[in-house]
Structure 1
Amino acid sequence: MPHYLSELYTSKRTWLSLDAVARQQFFETVGHGMAKLSDLGVEPIAFGEVDAGKLHAASQSYFAIWRVPDEAALDALVSGIAAAGWHDYFETINAAGRGTDLPGHLAQLAAARS
């Protein structure tokens, strides 16, 4: 089964203080790192703004969802994001792990001990 990374993040003051040119330079840095990650099978699924009007909405402003073929690629993705300096600009929460189908997940929940 593939692995997934779901990120929830909010801009820090350091991001908000950057001008448009500095933000674009940062995006270029991120883009260069993505080429290497694509070679590992990292697949961006979706990105967007969190809809704060939905029931139980996250307090973060943005989300990203990634699919990767295995744990090694997942580790490379998480490390690559950090190495790009992402966390200097965005407060981030990660949820990552091996994916399963609905019956498999229900079995995980049924077996929960905490």
Structure 2
Amino acid sequence: MSYMLIELYTATPAWTALDALSRAAFFARIGAGMQHVDPARIKPLAMGPIDQDVPHTRAEQFYAVWQCNERQDADALLAAIDATGWHTYFTTTHVAGSAGGLQQHLAELAALPKA
């Protein structure tokens, strides 16, 4: 079973204050950091801006969805992201868990205890 990692993030004032040359240097650091990520174990599935006109959306500006083979791979990815200095420039919320199908998820919801 796969393990999913979803990131929701927004630029900080530190990011918006950076000039183009500093942003390019940061992106080079991101690229170098991602060289250590095993593409057979960690795959980027989708990334982009969050549509703000969707009902019940979040306030963050961007999202990224990663598919990992297991929890340890997601932990390694999070460590690699952190090592780039990402959290200086982006406020991030992480959502993670094992990937399952619709029927499995409905069973998980049905199994929740009564209040």
Same fold at TM > 0.5: yes
1:111 aligns with 2:108: no
Match of 1:54 in 2: 54
- Structure 1 unaligned segments of length 5 or more: list them: none
Q: Percent identity?
A: 38
Query: With structure 2 as the length reference, what TM-score do the two structures score?
Result: 0.93
1:91-110 to 2 correspondences below 5 Å: 91-110=91-110
> How many Å separate the matches in 2 of 1:27 and 1:16?
14
State the 1:40 CA deviation.
Answer: 5.8
2:36 is paired with a residue whose SS is helix
Residue deviations 1:32-90 (CA, integer Å, cap 9, x gap): 11121135621001101010011111110000000011111111011111111111100
1:36 is paired with a residue whose SS is coil
Alignment: residue pair count: 114
> How many Å separate the matches in 1 of 2:90 and 2:58?
15
Matched to 2:25, the amino acid is Q
Q: Post-superposition, which runs of at least 4 consecutive aligned residues in structure 1 deviate over 6 A?
A: none
Query: With structure 1 as the length reference, what TM-score do the two structures score?
Result: 0.94
Match of 2:15 in 1: 15
- Structure 2 unaligned segments of length 5 or more: list them: none
Could you say what the CA RMSD is over the residues aligned between the two structures, in angstroms? Answer: 1.3
